[in-house]
C-alpha cells in the first residue's frame, strides 16, 4: 500500500481508480478545482468527458452505466453545478441506475453560512439518492468512495451522492483503500427461500394461462439468459415493461410485446385473462397497471423483487418473493416441468395480429400522407438489423422507439422511464456512445425534448462521438398535444412550437446533417446517416397531429385498451 501523504483530491481519484473507473462525465468550477487539478495529470488513466451542462453529465453517466454495466461517475462543482444535477439524480433513482455523483462543497468552516456557491446538497439530494454522505476531511474520502460504490451497484442499484468540502480536497491524508465486502445494516442479496420456490412451482403447475412480466430487474440482475432459459423451457408468454425492453430477444416465440399505456394489445388485454402472473423484477407502475381496481382480475400473482418495499406496494401478491430474480430463475428452471398450453399462446398472436392490422401496418407502412414516426423507427430497425443502441427522449418519440424497434440484445434501449425526463435523450446518447464506442447509437428525439438539452451538441462535436441523431419534428409537444386532442377538445395550449433550423444548428457545431420532408427521401437519408463515419443529425418532418395507439386511457383498465380513438 502506498502510505505517502497525498491530498484528499488525489485520494479521491485513486479511490476511483481502485474501483476501475476510467470514465467521468463532469463540469469544473470553483469548489471542485483541487480535484480537477489532480485530474490534469491522470489523463492517460481517466477519460473525462466535458459536457455543456451538469444535467447532461448526469444523464450521460447514467446511460454509460446502462450500456457498460459499470457504475457511472459524475463530477460537479458546488452550488449551481450541484443543483443542476438534481434532475439527473432523480432520473437515475427512479430507474435504479448505479451512478456516483461527486459534488464539491465550500470549505467546512463555511458550511451553513450561505457562503458563495454553497448549497445544502445533502438535504437536497436526500429524497432522490440511495445514500449520500458529506466528506469534511481528507481522511474520510477512501471509505466514503468505497461505500458509495458498494451501495450504488449492489442490491437494487441506485444513485449515490458524495459531497466533498474544499478543505477535504486540499487536506492531506495517507491513502489506504479497502473495498467494502459487507455492511451490517444493509442486505443487498436476500436469500431465496426453498419454500418460496416450491410454492411458485405449485402455483405455476396449477395454472392454465400464465403470463410472465419481465421488468428492468432482469437487466439489472444480468438475468437475461436465465429468463430465456425459463421461457424456452415453459413456453410461457412473456411481456416486458418499458424499461424491460431489450431484456427479451424479440425474436423469441414467446415474446408477446410491451405492457402499459402504449404497450401492445395482446399482453394488456390478456393480463385480465391470465390466471397466473409472474412479475419478475418489475414494480407495477401506474403506467403499466392502468386502473388498479381492475388489474389482473383473474390472476394469482407471484412477485419477485430484490427490493422488499416493492412487494405489495401497488399490487398485492399472493406469493411475494424477496430475492434476486437471477437466483430465482436459476433455481426454478431446472426443477420445472410445466409447459404452456398452445391455445393460450395463440390468444396473444390473434390479438397482436389485430393490432398489426389496425395500428402497426398503418403506422409503419402508410401509403400516403405525411411521414409517420413508426415507419422511421422500423426502417432504422431493419437497416441496423436490431443491433443498434436506441436512446430516446420522452413522449411520442419514446413510445415509437419502444414499439417499433426490434430489440435483440440486452441494454440496447435507453430511455427515461420513471421520471419521464424530457431532455434526457441527447445527453444519454452521449453517455451510451462513450460507453460503447464501436456500436451504432441512434437517438430518437422530438423537437421539444431536443431543444431542452441541445447544448450537448457541443460535447458530441468536441469528442467526435458518432451518434446518429434523429429529430422527429412535428412542431408540437406531441404527447401533450395528443392528450389535449383526446381530453381537452383540441385546445392546444402552449404545445405548438416553432423550431430552429436543426441541420444548420448541427453544422454550426461542425456536425453533418440532413433534412427530410417527403417519404421518397427517407430511405436515402437514413442510409446516409447510418453510413456516415462521425456524428450526424437528421431532422425529419413528420405528421403534425399523429397519435400513439393503442392506448389505455387514464383511469381505464388494461383490457379496456383501445386501438384507435373511438371513444371521443
Output the smallest distance, CB 272 to another protein, in A.
23
Output the smallest distance, CB 271 to another protein, in A.
23
Active site annotation includes 338: no
CB-CB contact of 565 with 549 (8 Å): yes
> Crossing angle for the helix pair 54-68 and 86-94, nearest 10 degrees?
30
Nearer to another protein, 37 or 120 (CB): 120
Nearer to another protein, 69 or 190 (CB): 190
CB-CB contact of 299 with 274 (8 Å): yes
List C-alpha distances in Å: 450 to 50, 61, 66, 445, 538. 19, 18, 21, 6, 12
Output the smallest distance, CB 357 to another protein, in A.
43
Q: Does 55 bind another protein (CB under 8 A)?
A: no
Q: Does 127 bind another protein (CB under 8 A)?
A: yes
Residues 222 to 261: which contact another protein by CB under 8 A? none
What are the cell numbers at 380? 432504422
The binder of another protein chosen from 41, 182, 488, 527 (CB under 8 A): 182
Burial of 229 (C-beta count, 10 Å sphere; 0-12/13-18/19+): middle
Nearer to another protein, 312 or 387 (CB): 312
Output the smallest distance, CB 284 to another protein, in A.
13
Q: Does 490 bind another protein (CB under 8 A)?
A: no
CB-CB contact of 270 with 254 (8 Å): no
Q: Does 292 bind another protein (CB under 8 A)?
A: no
Nearer to another protein, 53 or 283 (CB): 283
Residue of 19, 25, 38, 54 marked catalytic:
54
Look-up of cell digits 433534412:
515
Q: Does 178 bind another protein (CB under 8 A)?
A: yes
Residue of 117, 455, 462, 485 marked catalytic:
117
Q: Does 130 bind another protein (CB under 8 A)?
A: yes
How many angstroms from the chain centroid is the CA of residue 529?
24
Nearer to another protein, 186 or 492 (CB): 186
**Residue span 142-171 as binding mask against another protein, x where in contact by CB under 8 A, dash where not:** ----x----x--------------------
The binder of another protein chosen from 183, 253, 335, 385 (CB under 8 A): 183
Q: Does 404 bind another protein (CB under 8 A)?
A: no
Look-up of cell digits 419521464:
420
**H/E/C letters for each residue in 99-145?**
EEEEEEECCHHHCCCCCCCCCCHHHHHHHHCCEEEEECCHHHHHHHH
Pick the piece of the chain touching another protein (CB under 8 A) from 68-76, 125-133, 287-295, 355-363: 125-133
Nearer to another protein, 322 or 481 (CB): 322
Pick the piece of the chain touching another protein (CB under 8 A) from 103-111, 306-314, 331-339, 498-506: 306-314
Q: Does 185 bind another protein (CB under 8 A)?
A: yes
Q: How far apart are CA 460 and CA 456, in angstroms?
A: 6
Q: How far apart are CA 419 and CA 243, in angstroms?
A: 12
Nearer to another protein, 163 or 273 (CB): 163
The binder of another protein chosen from 122, 480, 530, 563 (CB under 8 A): 122
Nearer to another protein, 149 or 404 (CB): 149
Buried b (16+ CB within 10 A) or exposed e, 116-139: ebbbebbebbeebbbbbbbbbebb
Phi/psi of residue 383, nearest 5 degrees:
-70, -30
Nearest to 2 by CA among 24, 21, 17, 20: 17
Helix (H, G, I), strand (E, B) or coil at 26: strand
Active site annotation includes 117: yes
Distance between first and last Cα of the chain: 71
Q: Does 20 bind another protein (CB under 8 A)?
A: no
Q: How far apart are CA 532 and CA 464, in angstroms?
A: 12
Q: Does 111 bind another protein (CB under 8 A)?
A: no
Nearer to another protein, 163 or 327 (CB): 163
The binder of another protein chosen from 44, 184, 334, 337 (CB under 8 A): 184
Q: Does 318 bind another protein (CB under 8 A)?
A: no
Residue of 479, 509, 529, 539 marked catalytic:
479
Q: Does 309 bind another protein (CB under 8 A)?
A: yes
**Residue span 186-225 as binding mask against another protein, x where in contact by CB under 8 A, dash where not:** x---------------------------------------
CB-CB contact of 242 with 214 (8 Å): no
Q: Does 567 bind another protein (CB under 8 A)?
A: no
CB-CB contact of 435 with 402 (8 Å): no
Q: Does 504 bind another protein (CB under 8 A)?
A: no
Output the smallest distance, CB 341 to another protein, in A.
36
The binder of another protein chosen from 50, 111, 180, 480 (CB under 8 A): 180
Reported as type and span, the H/E element at residue 63 is: helix 54-68
The binder of another protein chosen from 126, 253, 385, 568 (CB under 8 A): 126
DSSP 559: G
Nearer to another protein, 182 or 346 (CB): 182
Helix (H, G, I), strand (E, B) or coil at 387: coil
CB-CB contact of 164 with 123 (8 Å): no
What are the cell numbers at 460? 458530441
Q: Are strands 255-258 and 276-280 parallel, antiparallel or unpaired?
A: unpaired
Residue of 147, 166, 326, 468 marked catalytic:
166
Alpha helices by DSSP H, listed for 312-439, are 325-335, 342-355, 361-364, 373-383, 396-404, 425-435
The binder of another protein chosen from 43, 44, 181, 491 (CB under 8 A): 181
Residues that bind another protein (CB under 8 A): 122-123, 126-127, 130-132, 134, 146, 151, 178-186, 307-309, 311-313
Active-site annotation, residues: 54, 116-117, 166, 479
Amino acid at each position: 500500500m502506498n502510505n505517502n501523504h497525498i491530498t484528499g483530491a488525489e485520494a479521491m481519484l485513486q479511490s476511483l481508480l481502485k474501483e476501475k473507473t476510467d470514465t467521468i462525465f463532469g463540469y469544473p468550477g470553483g469548489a471542485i478545482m483541487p480535484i480537477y487539478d489532480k485530474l490534469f495529470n491522470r489523463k492517460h488513466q481517466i477519460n473525462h468527458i466535458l459536457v455543456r451542462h451538469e444535467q447532461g453529465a448526469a444523464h450521460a453517466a447514467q446511460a454509460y452505466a446502462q450500456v457498460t454495466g459499470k457504475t457511472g461517475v459524475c463530477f460537479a462543482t458546488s452550488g449551481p453545478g450541484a443543483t443542476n444535477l438534481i434532475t439527473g439524480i432523480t432520473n437515475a433513482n427512479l430507474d435504479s441506475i448505479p451512478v456516483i455523483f461527486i459534488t464539491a462543497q465550500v470549505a467546512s468552516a463555511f458550511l451553513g453560512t450561505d457562503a458563495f456557491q454553497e448549497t445544502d446538497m445533502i438535504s437536497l439530494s436526500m429524497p432522490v439518492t440511495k445514500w449520500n454522505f458529506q466528506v469534511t476531511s481528507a481522511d474520510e474520502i477512501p471509505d466514503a468512495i468505497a461505500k458509495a460504490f458498494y451501495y450504488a451497484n449492489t442490491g437494487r442499484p441506485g444513485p449515490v451522492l458524495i459531497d466533498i468540502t474544499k478543505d477535504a480536497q486540499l487536506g492531506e491524508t495517507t491513502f489506504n483503500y479497502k473495498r467494502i465486502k459487507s455492511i451490517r445494516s444493509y442486505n443487498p442479496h436476500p436469500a431465496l427461500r426453498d419454500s418460496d420456490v416450491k410454492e411458485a412451482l405449485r402455483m405455476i403447475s396449477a395454472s392454465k394461462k400464465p403470463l410472465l412480466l419481465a421488468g428492468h430487474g432482469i437487466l439489472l440482475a444480468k438475468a437475461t439468459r436465465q429468463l430465456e432459459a425459463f421461457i424456452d423451457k415453459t413456453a410461457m408468454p412473456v411481456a416486458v415493461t418499458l424499461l424491460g425492453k431489450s431484456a427479451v430477444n424479440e425474436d423469441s416465440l414467446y415474446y408477446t410485446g410491451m405492457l402499459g399505456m402504449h404497450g401492445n394489445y395482446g399482453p394488456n388485454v390478456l393480463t385480465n385473462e391470465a390466471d397466473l402472473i409472474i412479475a419478475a423484477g418489475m414494480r407495477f407502475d401506474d403506467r403499466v397497471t392502468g386502473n388498479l381496481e381492475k388489474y389482473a382480475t383473474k390472476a394469482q400473482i407471484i412477485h419477485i423483487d430484490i427490493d422488499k418495499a416493492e412487494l405489495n406496494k401497488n399490487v398485492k401478491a399472493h406469493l411475494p418473493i424477496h430475492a434476486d430474480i437471477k437466483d430465482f430463475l436459476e433455481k426454478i428452471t431446472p426443477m420445472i416441468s410445466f409447459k404452456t398450453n398452445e391455445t393460450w399462446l395463440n390468444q396473444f398472436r390473434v390479438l397482436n395480429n389485430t393490432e398489426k392490422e389496425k395500428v402497426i401496418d398503418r403506422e409503419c407502412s402508410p401509403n400516403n400522407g405525411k411521414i409517420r414516426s413508426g415507419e422511421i423507427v422500423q426502417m432504422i430497425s431493419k437497416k441496423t438489423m436490431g443491433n443498434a443502441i436506441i436512446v430516446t427522449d420522452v413522449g411520442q418519440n419514446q413510445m415509437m422507439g419502444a414499439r417499433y424497434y426490434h430489440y435483440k440484445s440486452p441494454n440496447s434501449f435507453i430511455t427515461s422511464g420513471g421520471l419521464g425526463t424530457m431532455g434526457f435523450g441527447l445527453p444519454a446518447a452521449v453517455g451510451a456512445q462513450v460507453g460503447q464506442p464501436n456500436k451504432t447509437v441512434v437517438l430518437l428525439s422530438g423537437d421539444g425534448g431536443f431543444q431542452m438539452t441541445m447544448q450537448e451538441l457541443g460535447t458530441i462535436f468536441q469528442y467526435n462521438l458518432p451518434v446518429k441523431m434523429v429529430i422527429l419534428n412535428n412542431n408540437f409537444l406531441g404527447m401533450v398535444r395528443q392528450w389535449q386532442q383526446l381530453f381537452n377538445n383540441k385546445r392546444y395550449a402552449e404545445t405548438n412550437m416553432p423550431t430552429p433550423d436543426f441541420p444548420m444548428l448541427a453544422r454550426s457545431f461542425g456536425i453533418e446533417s440532413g433534412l427530410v420532408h417527403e417519404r421518397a427521401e427517407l430511405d436515402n437519408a437514413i442510409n446516409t446517416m447510418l453510413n456516415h463515419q462521425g456524428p450526424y443529425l437528421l431532422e425529419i418532418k413528420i405528421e403534425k397531429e399523429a397519435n400513439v395507439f393503442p392506448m389505455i386511457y387514464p383511469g381505464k383498465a388494461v383490457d379496456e385498451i383501445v386501438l384507435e380513438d373511438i371513444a371521443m
